[in-house]
Structure 1
Amino acid sequence: MKKLSTFFVLLLSVFAFAQSTITGTVSDEDGKPVPSASVTVEEPGKDAIIAYSITNSKGEYKVTFTTAEPNVDLKIKAFNQKPLQKSVKNQDSSQNFALESDATEIKEVKIKTKMITKRGDTISYDLKAFESKADRTLADVLKKIPGIDVNPDGSVLYQGEPINKFYVNGKDLMEGGYGTINNSLPKDAVQKVEVMENHQPVKILQDKVPSENAAINVKLKNSVTMTGRGEAGTGFGEPWLWNLKLTPMFFGQKNQWVINYKTNNNGETVEKEGNILSFGNRYEGRRGNVSQNDWLNVENASTPNLPEKRYLMNNVHYLSANLLTNPFKSKDWELKANASYTNNAVSRESYTENTDFLSNTKYLTNISNKFYTDKAKGELIFTKNAKKGFFKNVTTFSQFWNADRADVNRNDIYGTRNGAEAIESPTTSFQNSLSTIIPWKEKLVNVMSYISFQDDHQTLDISPSSYLKFKSYKDSLGFQHFLFEDTDAVRQKLRIKTLEINHSASVGFTAKNWTFTPEVGFNYSNDQLNTEFSTLTNSTFSPYGNDYNNNLKFTNAVPYASLGINFKSNSWMLYSQFPFNFNNIKADDPERNVAKSINKLTFEPMVFAQYTFASFWKASANANMNYNFGSTNDSYAGYIFTSPTSPSAMSADNPIPETRSKSVGTKLEYRNPLNNLFGNIGYRYSKTNRNIIGNSINDGSGFILTNFRELDNQSNSNSASVEIGKYFPSFKTNASLSFNNSVSKSDQLTTDLNNEEYFFVNKNTSQTAGLKFNNTYFSWMSIDYNLSFSWSHQVNQFNDSKNSGFNHNLSTYFYPVENHTIGFTWDQINSGNNLTTYNNAFYDLSYQYSWAKKKIDFELKWMNIGNRKVFERFATSAISESYTRMELRPSQVMFTVKFNFK
């Protein structure tokens, strides 16, 4: 808490100087208002703008600033008017100006667009100012803009935080799954990109319920645009390589659509483009990425911390379609239909040497995997988003037919063992979310409903059964040997049916800048878990015993009442919720003597406040507290082999787990489009208390039994981060620096082979420093460079280790002759400790010829020139350390034709 207090003192020092606001009007000699006149505030004798404003159509302006100077210079400039400067006192005042005309005969006009402009909460970026000759898509250029980061899946971060909406010409076609557009929209079709800070997507709530998130609006050059991006490639390697991408797009005033088909086996992930990357606003209802309840798993080979293209052995087909139309004359109503299908096969292999500190043993594991993904998703969305009302209904259906395989070779204290593992996991999922806001006199009535049903079937086969030989802690009598009879295989079956229902109603009252929203609701969930463990002899499966069966019903009924208090003014924004939850939870399994319940009233407030000052600064703080009372995952009492090496169970005598979490954070942001400077500094502290702790018992061979004990334990973390970025127009360079420091502590419990328990604190301190820059100053070259250093120090009674990492990526493009590009990429990833370091370097080389007239690129690319086939990594955990060697994609050559649809 001392660190937190220090940070607040630093933050409060920002407000040490008084803030002043000057308002007024700007008119011409005839008394007519002068729109679009610039009003800047400067400190006397200094050529540095501390605040600015632009007059509206009525010639009105308002400028707020903070400075210690007793007087400031107010400067007014407008086209065809003489500039005016006036010294005024540093205090709130009203200043009106009448400008003298100063018409000038213009012999030659050169129009130069500003690369960054700001109007209100909207910052506009001219894409032409940031692009390089090698860029082809919107994502290529966005990652060069100060204050914006783009992840490989196309997701966008602004000032380090995810955006809440991604619009094209003001329309939200993708409903959060915007990765397809970001990665495939040609940059030549885009006029500018707008960042809308503090964006409230529900129009009827604008100026009533504030938002802390930003949104992006992509403005195309034409109001009706037919465009898109395509690629077709083939390659030389083992096996034969292919890559095909076809993404046509249409953006009109009433209709928009995107069709996307991508397939490859060259290591490129394309199916993640269908993920929902932004989730809008809570008043829009509830949406999320549908996933399976992955209770059962085969042993998984490790993956390196590399771009997936370096190690992903895939064979993927991904097809999606998104449609938006206005079904009625009113443009407020929109109908959206989204559908996608994924078929993917992934191979993976790794070798690991683990050292266990407790037992002082070492075991070796070689895992070879095959993962098969087969899923379909359909979604229908009907919305009305208007100033006089809001309606949104989302219906989603998903079906999975996934399967995983593993072949494992182990060498441990029992000798050498081989196991074959297989999972079949079909899942059916259905969700419907409804939210509507209806104006009633001066009030707003909001009704929300969410219904979800999911049915997961999972079957894990392990062959032979002798593979499961290992020791585990049973009770005070000593050790139990998990050695099943010598049969062909064992089978773990699991089925869980999940029903979730959420209903709520609220009424919003507005008084001046305040909005009060009392809300009542009812949340209900029901899980039915059935598991069975059996052995296979002569093609017949037989149940193994009651200790391995579950028939658990877990219900959670939570009626609640909440009060939302929101405030919005020119400088202040407050968003808060104060809910009282009446938790009624039951876990019943008569066969296992499980009969647990809890009835408890909890108060779980959340507050976010933001203050904007001196035109370019934002200071914010947030705090929240919540309770979690466990779930089906930690309430069953019969053993479940969630993995062949990790059986686990909760004691029937333990209470329902209770977790209490608190967190507080602050952030200070600076965004100055006048000098292209962006930065932020943040701090967060969190603390979690639990009444149940997992007790992990490793018998020294890597087979881990986990049971759960009733024991108070806690964890806490402190993290501070800073980032600053600037665009240098003279050098056509965008550069940023970042640093993060975090300290975390957590209580842990483990038991050794001598039945001795250890309750200890594990402390982890880590730092990360990063540098990013790109440069397009030279007409014959462009550079993109990312660099990061990381350090960590882990301390507990078994381990005192220091690890370090180094990661950098250099992409350089040379343009020796018009329409010819030579590219070079260097990825370097190092890891290790104070004794050993593993260096992993990768090099790529490419040549591209551009047929400018047809906008077609022909690319020849050589990946992994050094033909590095494995990646090496050293890592430590609380009570063990490991060396891992992972299989990589070999050297490969691809020839690709890239083109725009129009």
Structure 2
Amino acid sequence: MKQLLILTCFSLFACFAFGQQTINGKVTDAQGKAIEAVSINLKDAEGNILSFTRTNAAGVYKFSLKDQAKGLRVEASSLGYKKAGVNVTDPTKPYNLILQDNAIDLAPVTVKNRAALTVNGDTLSYKTSDFADKQDRTIGDVIKRMPGVEVAESGKISYNGKAISNLYVDGDNLLDDKYNIATKSIPQGAVDKVQVIQNDQPIKMMRKNNMSEDVALNLVIKDDAKMKVMGDALAGAGAPDKFDGNVSAMLFNKELKFVNNIKGNNIGVDPGMDVVGHNMADLMRRQENSKPANLLSTGAAGVPGLPQNRSLLNTAGLVNLNNLYKFNTDLQMRANVSYLYDERVQQYDKLSEIYLPGQTVRYTELQDNLLKPQKLQTQLNLNENSDLHYLNNTFKADYLPSQATSRIVLNGTGANQSLNQKTFDISNEFNYRKKLKSENILNLYSFLNKISQPEILSITPGLNADINNSGMPYAGLDQLLKQPAFFTNNYASMAFVKNQFSQTYKAGFSLQEQEINSQLYRIQNSGITELLSSNAVNDLNWSRTRVYAEGTYELKKDKIQGGLSLPLGYNLIKYQDGVTRLDKSMRRLFLTPSLNVKYLTGIETYLTMNYSFRNELGGINDIYRGTILRNYRSFFANNSPLSEVRTHNVGASFNFRKAMQMLFFNITGNYSDAALNTISSMSLTDNIQQSVALPLSNHIRNYGLSASSSKYLFGLSSTVNAGVSFNYSTFAQLQNGLLTPFGSRTLSYKGGIESKLTRFMTASYNLNYSVTDNKAKVSNGLENNYQQLRQQSTLSFTTLKNVYVNVSGEHLYTHQSTQPDLEYLFADLNLRYKLVKMKTDLEFGVTNLANIKTFDALILSANSFTTGSYRIPGRIAMLRARFNF
């Protein structure tokens, strides 16, 4: 079957490559200069248009016809030039066209408040001034109004349904994946245009046969803003006992670019969001590195359904330094260094119920937590990017210490927790490419990573004495854990490029070495420390060696492009634990093919289809035998072979846009089927959870469909957007010895508008509504229904000269079939007076005008339901002064 699939795919590519007639040529002006974006029509003898295209940056065009035809004619037209054409007599030779200048007399046109969007090849350009408002301070305030562009609460930016891969500043990758500081700091008045770059390929030598599907944003800085250092300084004080401070400085000239920032507050704003990487999953996938995650926690719960800026009780500070220096047009060095200190308070109580056939497990919890996470992150990058050479080396060193203390009450029994974690993560990624004289490209890659992350969880006094100490009271538990890890991945590849077809062959190896060293101690009231049991120790050593080879075949025609990848990998896994007498090895040979096809259905529309098969083995966390206390009521261990997951994934999407009309639409569907050989068996009581992985085959199937659209209404100076998504998944749970299949369905809707009502007034409204149904797929099975509505609105207007008012509200409504409805209304007010000559803004703001101090939430999963009550910040009043320079 595999051979038949491979043969079929190769046959399809052969048809594309060799079964077509090609007509090509070049378009230039009278001086011989290439003309880009010229409309080219291919007509038959009757004058019917058989195909159309546009010239690229080199003035080149190309047509591909399935059938041989006679009487063909190529015609070229472009604004400002006379039309030209040529008859096709011999398809084997190029048909070059020379366009003569043609002056066009246009009638006078007056444009009033009409936003514009320009298109140049794969780049769309939004004029910042067309979408900006007087109240907008940073470029992030403007981007959210641009049709086709969506900004999530986390700051993550998407274009027509696809997350951006990078945000450039004047073409330079200053911030890598952590671009929130740019959208929050760069003044909107300093940005001339926001460009959306489709099919972004940052490596110059790869642009000729570009197969990239990435989308990037580029901020084009105004010329006058490049000549000086810009920034601002903010100082704010408020009640009760609140402060807010910020100092930013930035420069964007040809040789030196930097965005440096120091900020701190205790008003519920998380400065750590400025250093969040939005595409970390893609980075990990490229490096093929599965880093060990922290295993221990205090069991602290977040606030579901409520934005962080309304729930966070914090005192935090951040130093964020980003500097880039260009030695020349091809060589640059970048340093990104940040340090975050945070203190967070969490206070909540909740009731949890787990519904099983003939049984309901129920427990109540109260927690009062103080969390102190810190992050010191350093990244140094050297990049040389020319037409013949590419070198990129990135060194990273992260130190992430964290402390947490917690007072808990579980089913009426009180205890105290302390958790200390210290993660040190150091890595280096090297990538070198060279274009040979034959136009083939050599690529060398190496990635090294070393991690250490000791953890200590202490609980006093001891809980669940009947289970942990033969019914006798005891002083506490200490869980000690270390997870050192090493990983390297290295390969060499050669790309052979011939016209529209390229072949890449890769060979390499990776090595992963990890350990789990853990001991769970019981402390008696007498002070004696002893192992909880002989099964509470791990001394596990793990190694995975992978040798692999891969062939990738890519074809790019005028209207269709596709790629077939055939990775073949040999895996050798060994793991030993002398304490639990575990000594096993495994050898597996996997072929994991993937296929993707893109078809241009029009100049601005395309259809994509993809299929992939993945065969993945589990990791060290799947096979440790000794019991580990993960949190104060959860014990985990394993008693199964190494997990194997075989996943088939099929997807398709359709992207549509009319750039000049500023209309964007996309729809995506996908299906995945994951077959597993193990399952987590949960043993649940009112006081404790114990999990053991067991060998049992099961499937997780997921069906997804989503659509979204965005349109700019010129007459109303408004951007409207709407979307819908549907997701259905089936899976099984093993709890208290009962295997139960479940089905979970979620249907979500969203919509919004960003509008300029008048020259002095803007408004926005956003709505999100979701319905979730969970059902046990057995006779008389449990069924739950959960609905949530969230609405946000803002009204901004100018009252007097340089006096700006902003009023916003947020409404949340939650309905669960067996519980009373929950409803909240938050309101905020902000006044700003601009001292133009002093370049200073004076602000007075009040958040949470209704002074809501507790928030009740409903949490629904397959067969469990939790109600929680959380402490949140009440009303906060702030007076701020911001100086701009």
Q: Is this a same-fold pair by TM over 0.5? A: yes
Whether 1:577 aligns to 2:565 is: yes
Alignment of 1:74-89 (within 5 A): 78-79=79-80
Residue in structure 1 matched with residue 870 of structure 2 by the alignment: 886
Calculate percent identity across the aligned residue pairs. 21
What letter corresponds to residue 196 of structure 1 in structure 2?
Answer: I
Partner Cα distance (2:108, 2:861) in 1: 72
CA distance in structure 2 between the partners assigned to 1:859 and 1:158 by the alignment: 33
Q: 1:769 corresponds to which residue?
A: 749
Q: Hey, what does 2:89 align to over in structure 1?
A: none
Distance 2:836 2:707 in 1: 42
Deviation sequence 1:779-835 (CA, Å, 0-9, x none): 131012110110111100442011111011111112122311111111112112234
SS at match of 1:208: coil
* Mapped pair 1:643 → 2:631: yes
Contact 2:268 2:312 in 1 (8 A): yes
**CA RMSD for the aligned pairs?**
3.6
After superposition, residues 436-455 of structure 1 pair within 5 angstroms as 436-442=432-438, 443-455=440-452
What's 1:534 paired with?
521
Alignment check: 8 A CA contact 2:115 2:714 kept: no
Match of 2:498 among 476, 499, 511: 511
Question: What amino acid is the match of 1:677?
Answer: L
What is the aligned partner in structure 1 of residue 614 from structure 2? Answer: 626
For 1:748 and 1:39, the matched residues in 2 are separated by 59
Which of 716, 720, 731 is 1:735 aligned to? 720
Which residue in the other structure is 1:396 paired with?
396
Q: In the superposition, relative to structure 1, how do residues 40 and 852 fare at CA in structure 2: closer, same or farther (>3 Å)?
A: farther
Q: 1:35 to 1:577 in 2, by over 3 A?
A: closer
Do the aligned partners of 2:402 and 2:420 also contact (CA within 8 Å) in 1? yes
Map Cα deviations across residues 616-672 of structure 1 (whole Å, 9 max, x no partner): 101111222212211111110010001111101002xx2111111121111100122
Shift >4 Å, 4+ stretches:
19-28, 30-42, 49-65, 71-77, 81-86, 93-114, 278-288, 481-485
In structure 2, what residue type is equivalent to 1:646?
S
Secondary structure of the corresponding residue to residue 551 of structure 2: strand
Evaluate the alpha carbon distance shift between residue 556 and residue 34 of structure 1 in structure 2; reply closer, same or farther with a 3 A threshold: closer
Q: Is the aligned partner of 1:255 residue 2:256? A: yes
Name the aligned partner's letter for residue 637 of structure 1.
R
Following TM superposition, by how much is the alpha carbon of 1:84 offset from its aligned partner in structure 2, in angstroms?
Answer: 11
Note the 1:347-366 alignment, pairs <5 A: 347-358=345-356, 359-366=359-366
When normalised by structure 1's length, the TM-score is 0.87
Q: Paired residue for 2:509?
A: 522
User: d(CA) in 1 for partners of 2:58 and 2:206?
Assistant: 26
Residues 522, 531 of structure 2: 8 Å contact kept: yes
Corresponding residue to 1:226 among 203, 208, 228 = 228
**Mapped contact 1:491–1:533 kept (Cα < 8 A):** yes
Q: Secondary structure at the match of 2:140?
A: helix
3-state DSSP of counterpart to 1:176:
coil
1:301, 1:368 within 8 Å by CA — same for their partners in 2? no
| TM-score normalised to structure 2 length | 0.88
Q: CA deviation at 1:111?
A: 12
C-alpha separation in 1, matches of 2:391 and 2:413: 60
Q: Match of 2:681, as an amino acid?
A: N
CA distance in 1, matches of 2:613, 2:874: 49
Distance 1:668 1:37, change over 3 A: closer
Aligned-residue offset at 1:574: 2.5
SS in 2 for 1:140: helix
**1:777 match: secondary structure:** strand
What's the CA shift for 1:873? 1.7
What is the Cα deviation at residue 398 of structure 1?
A: 1.5
Q: Is the 8 A contact 1:597 1:656 kept in 2?
A: no
In the alignment, structure 1 residue 689 sits paired with structure 2 residue 675: yes
Matches within 5 A, 1:463-862: 463-465=460-462, 467-469=463-465, 485-537=472-524, 538-651=526-639, 654-701=640-687, 703-751=688-736, 757-796=737-776, 797=778, 798-835=781-818, 836-862=820-846
Rounded to whole Å, the distance in 2 between the matches of 1:671 and 1:150 is 19
Distance 1:63 1:184, change over 3 A: farther
Distance 2:674 2:281 in 1: 28
Q: How far apart, in 2, do the equivalents of 1:146 and 1:51 lie?
A: 30
Correspondent of 1:877 among 852, 861, 867: 861
Q: Which amino acid aligns with 1:727?
A: Y
> Could you tell me which residue of structure 2 aligns to residue 7 of structure 1?
none
Structure 2 CA distance for aligned equivalents of residues 162 and 687 of structure 1: 24
Judged with a 3 Å threshold, the aligned counterparts in structure 2 of structure 1 residues 430 and 536 are, in CA distance, closer, same or farther, namely same
Question: Structure 1 residues 279, 256: closer, same or farther in 2, change over 3 A?
Answer: farther
1:299 aligns with 2:282: no
Change in CA separation of 1:356 and 1:54 when aligned onto 2, cut-off 3 Å = closer
Equivalent position amino acid for 2:508 in 1: G
Contact 2:292/2:483, CA 8 A, preserved across alignment? no
Of 850-859 and 342-351, the range deviating more from structure 2: 850-859
Tell me the distance in 1 between the aligned counterparts of 2:126 and 2:250.
Answer: 23
- Checking the alignment, whether the CA contact within 8 Å between 1:201 and 1:281 is kept in structure 2 is no
Q: Quick check: 1:432 aligned with 2:428?
A: yes
Q: Identify the residue that residue 476 of structure 1 maps to in structure 2.
A: none
Q: Give 1:57 deviation, angstroms.
A: 9.0
Residue 218 of structure 1, CA deviation: 1.0
Q: Deviations over 1:123-149 (max 9, x none)?
A: 111111111222111111111111111
User: 1-side partners of 2:604 and 2:514: how far apart?
Assistant: 50
- Contact 1:301 1:369 (8 Å CA) reproduced: no
Distance, in Å, in 2 between the alignment partners of 1:112 and 1:355 is: 57
Gapped regions of structure 1 (runs ≥ 5): 1-18, 43-48, 66-70, 87-92, 472-480, 752-756
**Corresponding residue for 2:458?**
461
Letter in 2 for 1:294: N
Cα offset, 1:31, TM superposition = 10
The change in CA–CA distance for 1:394 and 1:860 in structure 2 (over 3 A counts) is same
Task: Look up the SS of the partner of 2:274 in the other structure.
Answer: helix
Is 2:84–2:97's contact at 8 Å kept on the other side of the alignment? no
- Give the letter for the 1:639 counterpart: T
Helix, strand or coil for the counterpart of 1:600?
Answer: strand
Aligned length: 843
- Structure 1 residues 249-296: Cα deviation after superposition (integer angstroms, max 9, x where no partner): 1111112122111111101011121122346998997499x9883111
Matched, 1:318 2:298: no
Q: Give the whole-Å Cα distance in 2 for the aligned partners of 1:717 and 1:764.
A: 10
Q: Is the 8 A contact 1:768 1:790 kept in 2?
A: yes
Determine whether 1:340 maps to 2:338.
yes
In structure 1, C-alpha distance between the alignment counterparts of 2:717 and 2:523, rounded to whole Å: 68
